[in-house]
Amino acid sequence: MLTAQTKSGTIFSLGKEYKKETLLIIRNNEEFFCPACGERVSLKLGNQRIYHFAHRGGTVCRDFYEGETVYHMKGKLQLYQWLERQGIPVALEYYDAKINQRPDIVFHFDGIKYALEYQCSPISEEIFFKRTAAYYEQNYIPLWIMGSKHLKAKRSNVFSLSNFDYFFFRETKDNHLILPSYCPEEKQFKILSSIYPYSIKNALANITHHSIQKTGIEEILSPEIINHFSLAKWSMEMEKFTLNLLLHPSPNLNRFLREIYRHNLNIYLLPPEIGLPVSHSLFIQTPSIIWQTYLYLDVLQDKMPKDLIDLKEVEKHYNKRLIKKEIINRNIPQLTSEGSFSAVKDYFQQLERLGILVRKSETVFQLETSIFIPKSNREKEERRNEFCQKNKFLLAKL
């Protein structure tokens, strides 16, 4: 850890850039204690690690803080100094006794109190949710920033995201969903945006890099988002994913396949309107091609042009699938105002943009034209190519 309490009760922070000679003098003349547990701590000034405080005995605090890596401490220190250089009121490792928590950094900006947690190692979902809820209860806005070493790029604009990674998603003031991360070795922020999952683990996303020396806090809280979404790339990744689904089937997939076969559908011959990229789809863990097929079966398949579709009816069918665990939601602790049905509403808005539906009121659509189901691979390819060519600019504005 990087802060300790002196014998007189004042907080001493290593966030200040002290010379080693100065710290040696201070260490010889001062005693230090952990602000959380009150135990004696030692000021470590070795050459292999950054300067830090370490617990002496076997305490809960020791088990927690001694697990900190150099990567984590460097990042935490750099983030603290970055905020301080901007003249932002900031405290390093501030211990809040009311919630018995010690966020890496507390700072005030634009009238808002933030608790910044720079997380470089996995913690349980229970702990993550508990800490986040406690911050909200004490009027902090939690700002979880992931260590960039955990950000896994598979190929250009394709990322592998675990359920833990999704915990870091937050919403900007412009209603964009982003995943912020920081690398202390490269001294830069890496921010994922325009995230469209196509499987439980994989998603298309944009990534931007921001040097800590040239970036201000506003650019991290609400970065400028430019969507470079490629419908052709999405279609290609969906094709790979569909093939992989059948090569590695699961019990849930088999249940899904049995149901669509009963309705004379083939997963290989689904139209491009099923499995669309939509905003807020990260709230649904189930792959988009599956949950959108269920919506087609429950709501769209038996409708004729000019028939009405009420979102209240759609929500009932959707909730039944949730109860049966045929569709699985994803919990994202920092996005408390949204729910997974927002992704369903986004899907119907996409169908409206494509001319499949016409909006009649806030919750009611009218079917304008039925979704064409291909009967052969040739029909599917022709339909997909036509669809991508016709709609590439429309969907690029997601």
pLDDT tens digit string along 94-127?
888 888 888 999 999 999 999 999 998 888 889 9
Q: What is the DSSP track for 303-326? A: --TT-EEEHHHHHHHHHHHHHTTS
Helical residues (DSSP H) of the chain, grouped into ranges: 20-29, 60-65, 70-85, 125-137, 163-166, 217-221, 231-247, 251-262, 288-295, 311-323, 341-353, 377-395
pLDDT, position 121? 87
16, pLDDT greater than 90: no
Q: Which of the residue ranges 15-19, 47-51, 67-71, 222-226 has the most confident prediction, judged by mean pLDDT?
A: 222-226
CB 310, CB 357: distance < 8 Å = no
> Among 15-19, 111-115, 135-139, whose mean pLDDT is lowest?
15-19
Q: How many CB atoms within 10 Å of residue 355?
A: 12
Phi-psi region of 378 (alpha: psi -120 to 50; beta: other; left: phi over 0): alpha
Residue 66's pLDDT band (cuts 50, 70, 90): very low
The Cα–Cα gap between 57 and 65 comes to 12
CB 42, CB 56: distance < 8 Å = yes
Counting beta carbons within 10 angstroms of the beta carbon of residue 326, is it exposed (0 to 12), middle (13 to 18) or buried (19 or more)? middle
Could you tell me the sign of the dihedral formed by the alpha carbons of 49, 55, 58, 62, in that order? negative
pLDDT, position 67? 62
Greatest Cα pair distance in the chain: 84
- In whole angstroms, how far apart are CA 189 and each of 108, 123, 220? 20, 21, 8
38-62 mean pLDDT? 72
- In whole angstroms, how far apart are CA 142 and each of 31, 289, 348, 368? 32, 33, 32, 44
CB 72, CB 206: distance < 8 Å = no
pLDDT, position 73? 87
Does the domain at residues 69-221 carry the CATH identifier 3.40.50.300? no
Q: Greater confidence, 180 or 231?
A: 180
pLDDT, position 59? 58
CB 299, CB 313: distance < 8 Å = yes
pLDDT, position 63? 46
The Cα–Cα gap between 359 and 366 comes to 6
> Per-domain residue ranges for the chain?
1-62, 69-221, 231-395
Q: What is the dihedral of CA 76, 216, 20, 10, to 10 degrees?
A: -70
Task: Render pLDDT for 211-256 as a digit per residue (tens, 0 to 9).
Answer: 999 999 999 999 988 777 788 888 889 988 988 887 877 777 889 9
193, pLDDT greater than 70: yes
Closest residue by Cα to residue 61 from 90, 83, 32, 20: 32
Residue with tokens 């149901």, as numbered in its chain: 259
